[in-house]
Structure formats: structure tokens, C-alpha cells
Structure 1
Amino acid sequence: MKTLIVEDELASRLLLQELMKKYGPCHVAVNGKEAVEAARMALEAGEPYDLIFLDILMPEMNGQEALRQIRGLEESRGIFSSDGVKIIMTTSLSDIKNVSKAYLHLCNAYLTKPVRKEKLLDELKSLKLVE
């Protein structure tokens, strides 16, 4: 499983890397702008990400906008969100406005920080990324 972790906070980034390293390569971006570029490059190379963890509150470009743009990149290539990269929002924001906006822009799951290993594994199983 090829994973992109998009997180500006070092502790959260390291935690996700540690949890995901046994499943395959993990790349890192520290803001939404880098995330969109990484997703674009992966699509162009014919090696798209299987999973993206996307924080909402980040510099340069927030996670909501990055989510919208990543789905737009897929759509422009004829990839429906149901067949595209699985995107899990990881954030301290649990208010209904942010959760609803993320699902409106077609995220697959929403985890609040601190991310717990058990909850993460449950989401990976429900997305059929692990058994």
C-alpha cells in the first residue's frame, strides 16, 4: 500500500508513519499544496497513492482545499472517487461543519486527533485496505 501522509505537525506525522510503515512506502507532505503536487505526480507516473492521510489545518493550502483539488485531478482523468485514492481526514476539528465539508468533497473517512491505532485499523479494514 502506497501512502501519503499530509501533516504539518511533526508528532502527528511521525505517529502516522510509525503506524503505517509495515503496510508499504509512506511519503510525506507538510501542506496541502505539496499534497496536491505529490498526488498529481503519482497519477502522471501511473502509480497513484492507495491512501492519503490529510490534515485540515495546514499552511499554504488547507486540507479541505487539497481534498477538493485531488478529487479534481482524479476526475479529470476519468477516475471516480469510489475508484480513486482513499482519503482519511486526520484533524483536531470535529465540528459538524468541517466533517460535512470533508464528506461533501468526497473523503472516505474522518479521524480526530490524536489518532488511535485501533480506530485507524478499523478504518483501514472498512476501506478494504488491510484485512
Structure 2
Amino acid sequence: MKVLIAEDDMASGKFLMKLLSKYGHVDLARDGIEAVDNFVKAASSEEKYDLVCLDIMMPKIDGYKALESIRNAERKLGIPRISRCKIIMISALDEGFDSSYASDDYDEYICKPIDIVKFDNIIKKMGLFD
């Protein structure tokens, strides 16, 4: 599995990298623009990400805009909906997540601090590993 984490907080980024590295290769982007750039580069070279974890509150562009840009990139690249990457939206504020901004373009949402067991269950439910 190939994972992209978009997280501007160093401690949260390292935590997610450690948590997800047991499943495969993990890349870390420090802001929304870097995340979208990394995603497009990988998808264009047939090395697409299986999972993208997007922090909602990031510099440059937030997680909602990054989500929209990633899904637009998939459409432009001709990636069918069934083959698109899984996306988990992450926020430090439980009441800060507004699903109307994300429509149906994300797969799951989790609040910080991240519960490791809950996060593993989300990944299993998505069918990303057994």
C-alpha cells in the first residue's frame, strides 16, 4: 500500500507516519499544495496512492480544497471512481468537520487525537489490507 499524509503539525505527521508505515510506503506533505502536487505526480506516473490522509486545517490550501483538487486530478487523469484512492479527513476539532464542504468525495473522517485501534479498523473497513 502507498500512503500520502498531508499534515502541517510535525508531531502529528510523525505519529501518522509511524502508524501507517506498517502497511507500506508513506510520504508526508507539509501543506495542501504539496499534497496535491505529490498526488498528481504519483498518479501521472502510475504510482498512485492507495490512501491519502488529509488534515483539514493546513497552510496554503486546506484539506477541503486539497480533497477537491485530488478528486479533480483523478477525473482529468481518467481514473474511474471505483479505482480512486481512499481519503481519510482528519481534524483536531470534532465539531470542526463540515461534510457539506467535502460532499461524498472522502471515505472516512477521524478526529485527533487519533485512536490507533479505531484508525486500524477504518483501514480494514476500507479493504486496504487484511
TM-score, scaled relative to structure 2: 0.94
Cα distance, 1:76 vs structure 2? 1.1
Provide the rounded CA distance (Å) in 1 between the counterparts of 2:109 and 2:82.
16
Provide the rounded CA distance (Å) in 1 between the counterparts of 2:74 and 2:91.
23
**Cα RMSD for the two superposed structures:** 1.4
Cα distance, 1:101 vs structure 2? 2.2
Provide the rounded CA distance (Å) in 2 between the counterparts of 1:112 and 1:22.
21
Cα distance, 1:105 vs structure 2? 5.0
Q: Hey, what does 1:112 align to over in structure 2? A: 111
> What is the percent sequence identity of the aligned residues?
38
Cα distance, 1:91 vs structure 2? 0.8
SS of the residue corresponding to residue 56 of structure 2 reads coil
Q: Hey, what does 1:2 align to over in structure 2? A: 2
TM-score, scaled relative to structure 1: 0.93
Cα distance, 1:80 vs structure 2? 3.4
- Is 1:87–1:108's contact at 8 Å kept on the other side of the alignment? yes
SS of the residue corresponding to residue 79 of structure 2 reads coil
Superposed, 1:10-89 pairs within 5 Å as: 10-89=10-89
Provide the rounded CA distance (Å) in 1 between the counterparts of 2:38 and 2:96.
29
Cα distance, 1:97 vs structure 2? 5.8
Aligned positions, number: 130
Shift >6 Å, 4+ stretches: none
Q: Is residue 128 of structure 2 the alignment partner of residue 125 of structure 1?
A: no
SS of the residue corresponding to residue 22 of structure 1 reads coil
Q: Structure 1, residues 13-65: CA drift from partner, whole Å, max 9, x if none?
A: 11101111111110010111001100100011111000010001010110000
- Is 1:68–1:105's contact at 8 Å kept on the other side of the alignment? no
